[in-house]
């Protein structure tokens, strides 16, 4: 039997895959299980036949392990801790252990990680701010390993389960809050422009200004990276400008802390001289001085939803929805107030 003779329907057996690839059934089994003792060319040939024929491992042949894989593109913030807490809640309820990985800043994990997942055969995979390329998706699908993307960095491919949040609505609410207080010059410090959540938050900011019939000043839009240092650097640049903003939407709570630091160094008081809004509502937002007004992103609930979805798919269940967006909400604290009296008034809305 040649590779060309295999068709997606009916589903091929492992022996048929082996004959089409010109290898033994044990070799195909090694590829399916992520074993590294297979020549790269042979592995690629088997993977291509698995992909083209739509092969999926039968559930009854090899039950999954009692593991749940959780992979971050970066694992270095309080944000990640909230996500881990949510996944752990589900893992504990399901009697699963978590395997935690980081893809070193890449939005797509490397093949070494994929090989490890194939060898572990977890009950499910949750990818945070990451995604899989087409070949990697095919590899997990052929082994019947379900995966869910949490807070996608980009637009997930058709059929990829994903859990997100109302980033655009959150950016809109944050900016409208500042407008309602009377602010006219409102700056925004976004996250990386390549991330969908960053773009959505800035789009919400733009929409709020346009609805208020205010111009969107490109000089008031700075790109950050969702870390404290980026918030500090952008705020220094904004606040030393001749026509500095009276309010900054920091894009996330960590960048908001950087804004606090820059304002303090420049002798500006929050909120008397500068209002600040963050995004996420991490626990630290309640304890900084002054407590931070922020957009609550339900991180624990998002992580629980993603983990539960992965587990349900792994059990062969059919959830009512595989694309879920949870709502954001504005949490008003002490970091926002009307602008100083000498600020230009808002136009009539």
pLDDT range class, residue 10, cuts 50, 70, 90: low
Query: Which pLDDT score, from 0 to 100, does residue 89 have?
Result: 97
Residue 213 in this model has a pLDDT that exceeds 70: yes
> Which one is predicted more confidently, 20 or 225?
225
Q: How far apart are CA 136 and CA 193, in angstroms?
A: 25
Residue 1 in this model has a pLDDT that exceeds 60: no
> Which one is predicted more confidently, 336 or 58?
336
Query: Which pLDDT score, from 0 to 100, does residue 11 have?
Result: 66
pTM: predicted TM-score of the whole model, two decimal places? 0.82
pLDDT in tens, 31-68: 777 677 777 777 777 777 777 776 766 654 556 789 99
pLDDT in tens, 308-328: 999 999 998 999 899 999 999
Q: How far apart are CA 118 and CA 307, in angstroms?
A: 18
Residue 344 in this model has a pLDDT that exceeds 50: no
Query: Which pLDDT score, from 0 to 100, does residue 109 have?
Result: 84
Q: How far apart are CA 275 and CA 346, in angstroms?
A: 16
pLDDT in tens, 89-121: 999 999 999 999 987 767 778 888 888 998 899
Residue 277 in this model has a pLDDT that exceeds 90: yes
Residue 158 in this model has a pLDDT that exceeds 90: no
Token pair, residue 201, equals 């938050």
Q: How far apart are CA 323 and CA 216, in angstroms?
A: 32
Residue 5 in this model has a pLDDT that exceeds 60: no
pLDDT in tens, 66-84: 999 999 988 878 899 999 9
Beta strand ranges found along the chain (DSSP E): 67-72, 97-102, 124-128, 147-150, 162-165, 186-190, 221-223, 247-249, 275-280, 293-296, 323-326, 329-331
| Average pLDDT rounded to a whole number, residues 148-159 | 87
Query: Which pLDDT score, from 0 to 100, does residue 157 have?
Result: 83
> Which one is predicted more confidently, 103 or 296?
296
Q: DSSP secondary structure string, 82-150?
A: HHHHHHHHHHHHHT-EEEEEE-TT-SS--HHHHHHHHHH--SEEEEES----HHHHHHHHHTT--EEEE
> Which one is predicted more confidently, 61 or 227?
227
Query: Which pLDDT score, from 0 to 100, does residue 125 have?
Result: 96
Query: What mean pLDDT is reported for the chain?
Result: 88
Between the alpha carbon of residue 79 and those of residues 272, 301, 335, the distances in Å are 28, 13, 20
pLDDT in tens, 167-205: 999 999 999 999 999 999 999 999 999 899 999 999 999
Count how many residues are written for the chain.
349
> Which one is predicted more confidently, 150 or 108?
150
Token pair, residue 338, equals 């009307």
């Amino acid at each position: 039997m040649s590779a060309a003779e295999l068709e997606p329907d009916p589903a091929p057996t492992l022996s048929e895959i082996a004959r089409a690839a010109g290898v033994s059934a044990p070799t195909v089994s090694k590829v399916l299980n992520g074993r590294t003792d297979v020549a790269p060319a042979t592995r690629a040939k088997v993977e291509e036949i698995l992909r083209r024929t739509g092969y999926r491992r039968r559930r009854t042949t090899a039950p999954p392990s009692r593991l749940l894989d959780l992979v971050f593109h970066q694992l270095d913030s309080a944000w990640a801790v909230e996500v881990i807490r949510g996944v752990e809640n589900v893992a504990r309820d399901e009697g699963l252990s978590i395997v935690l990985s980081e893809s070193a800043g890449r939005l797509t994990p490397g093949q070494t990680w994929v090989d490890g997942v194939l060898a572990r055969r977890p009950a499910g995979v949750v990818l945070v701010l990451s995604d899989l390329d087409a070949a990697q998706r095919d590899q997990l699908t052929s082994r019947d390993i379900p995966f869910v993307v949490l807070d996608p960095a980009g637009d997930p491919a058709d059929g990829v389960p994903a859990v997100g949040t109302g980033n655009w609505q959150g950016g809109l609410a944050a900016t409208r809050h500042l407008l309602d207080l009377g602010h006219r010059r409102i700056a925004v410090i976004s996250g990386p422009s390549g991330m969908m959540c960053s773009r959505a938050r800035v789009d919400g900011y733009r929409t709020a200004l346009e609805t208020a019939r205010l111009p969107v000043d490109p000089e008031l839009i700075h790109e950050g990276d969702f870390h404290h240092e980026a918030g500090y650097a952008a705020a220094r640049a904004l606040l030393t400008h001749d026509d500095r903003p009276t309010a900054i939407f920091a894009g996330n709570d960590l960048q908001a802390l950087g804004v606090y630091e820059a304002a303090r160094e420049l002798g500006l008081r929050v909120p008397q001289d500068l209002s600040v809004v963050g995004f996420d509502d991490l626990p630290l937002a309640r304890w900084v001085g002054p407590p931070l007004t922020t957009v609550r992103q339900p991180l624990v609930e998002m992580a629980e939803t993603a983990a539960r979805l992965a587990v349900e798919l792994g059990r062969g269940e059919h959830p009512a929805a595989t694309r879920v967006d949870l709502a954001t909400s504005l949490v008003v604290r002490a970091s926002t107030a009307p602008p100083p009296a000498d600020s230009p008034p808002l136009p009539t809305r």
